[in-house]
């Protein structure tokens, strides 16, 4: 059977109150990458952070993370863009594009959000939204710009989808030739707090899959932001998909506040029980059609 690609989301915009294992610095992020590769991971999505956990959108910070990670790990890297409200395309690429000319700082995948969303979190303890004005804008013109810039930067698009309308946009861009096969898609489900995404249920997964035409060459990963991805892990693995986990998405307090590497090991065990061993980074490059830096 096809090996299981295990991605990691080690930090996102998450603090350490619920789980102390969220990495902030380049050295911490690289250490997580190393440990997770040993446990079975092959791909990492991450955000640069300051030493006290704030957002760092500079190219220098992202270059340092890539250097540190390449030194200790072979994981494919899919960094966040500088997704600041009001930034245009060039500003959102400004943390990645300057680093792509040198193998030591170059990365592999460009995460592109395939739609607009209200990103306000719902507070289940209060029974209402915590905020009411956090709109994430990714219109079609912006999507096209990112998808067209990606290959010029030596990057494969990593198309993220929160809901069926975003997944249909992925299909539309593939039909238009902007997403060459295999299309790489990240289906982001949501926990109770993150209502912008489909719920973390088997039905939530199937909603995305039902929107995919049978002739589309695609490799898809599932994660859950603010939710427990293990609620759908067996469904995803059995259906031929891949998984992304990490304490940046969910603290997993029910499991004793584990490290991301411990979550990876748990996914790897699930995969083996379904006859799908973890894919190595080299195998993941072949499956996703991502060349090594030296081959670009």
Strand pairing class (218-225; 109-113) = unpaired
Please give the CATH topology (third level) of the domain spanning 6-295: TIM Barrel (3.20.20)
pLDDT tens digits for range 215-232: 999 999 999 999 999 999
- From the number of C-beta atoms within 10 Å of its C-beta (0-12, 13-18, 19+), residue 116 rates as middle
| 89, 90, 92, 93: CA torsion to nearest 10 | 120
Quote the CA–CA distance of 239 and 38 in Å, as a whole number: 25
Q: From residue 87, how far is each of 196, 263, 271 by CA, in Å?
A: 21, 34, 40
Contacts 24+ apart (CB under 8 A), 140-148: 140/169, 142/89, 143/112, 143/114, 143/169, 143/173, 144/173, 144/178, 145/89, 146/81, 146/89, 146/92, 146/93, 146/110, 146/112, 147/112, 147/173, 147/178, 147/179, 148/178
- Cis ω for the linkage preceding 182 (within 30 of 0): yes
DSSP letter at 49 equals: B
pLDDT tens digits for range 76-116: 999 999 999 899 999 999 999 999 999 999 999 999 999 99
- Give the model's confidence band at 296: pLDDT under 50 very low, under 70 low, under 90 confident, else very high: very low
pLDDT tens digits for range 241-273: 999 999 999 999 999 999 999 999 999 999 999
pLDDT score for 294: 60
Residue written as token pair 């599932």 = 222
Res 150 pLDDT > 50? yes
Residue written as token pair 């990645």 = 96
pLDDT score for 292: 85
pLDDT tens digits for range 114-140: 999 999 999 999 999 999 999 999 999
Quote the CA–CA distance of 84 and 105 in Å, as a whole number: 22
């Amino acid at each position: 059977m096809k090996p299981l690609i295990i991605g990691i989301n080690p930090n996102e915009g998450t603090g350490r109150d619920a789980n102390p294992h969220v990495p902030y610095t380049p050295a911490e992020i690289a250490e997580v990458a190393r440990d997770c590769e040993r446990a079975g991971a092959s791909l990492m999505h991450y955000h640069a952070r300051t030493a006290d956990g704030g957002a760092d959108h500079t190219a220098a910070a992202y270059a340092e993370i890539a250097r540190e990670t390449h030194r200790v790990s072979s994981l494919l890297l899919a960094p966040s863009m500088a997704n600041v409200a009001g930034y245009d395309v060039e500003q959102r690429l400004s943390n990645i594009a300057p680093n792509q000319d040198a193998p030591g700082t170059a990365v592999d995948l460009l995460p592109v959000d395939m739609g607009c969303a209200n990103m306000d979190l719902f507070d289940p303890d209060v029974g209402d939204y915590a905020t009411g004005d956090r709109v994430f804008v990714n219109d079609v013109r912006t999507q096209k710009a990112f998808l067209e810039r990606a290959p010029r930067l030596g990057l494969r698009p990593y198309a993220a989808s929160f809901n069926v309308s975003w997944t249909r946009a992925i299909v539309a861009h593939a039909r238009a030739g902007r997403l060459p096969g295999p299309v790489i898609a990240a289906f982001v489900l949501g926990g109770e707090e993150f209502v912008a995404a489909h719920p973390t249920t088997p039905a939530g997964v199937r909603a995305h899959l039902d929107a995919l035409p049978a002739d589309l060459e695609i490799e898809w990963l599932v994660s859950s932001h603010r939710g427990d991805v293990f609620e759908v892990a067996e469904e995803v693995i059995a259906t031929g998909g891949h998984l992304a986990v990490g304490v940046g998405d969910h603290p997993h307090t029910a499991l004793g506040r584990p490290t991301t590497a411990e979550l990876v090991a748990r996914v790897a065990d699930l995969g083996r029980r379904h006859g799908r061993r973890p894919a190595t980074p080299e195998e993941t490059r072949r499956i996703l059609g991502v060349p090594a830096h030296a081959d670009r």
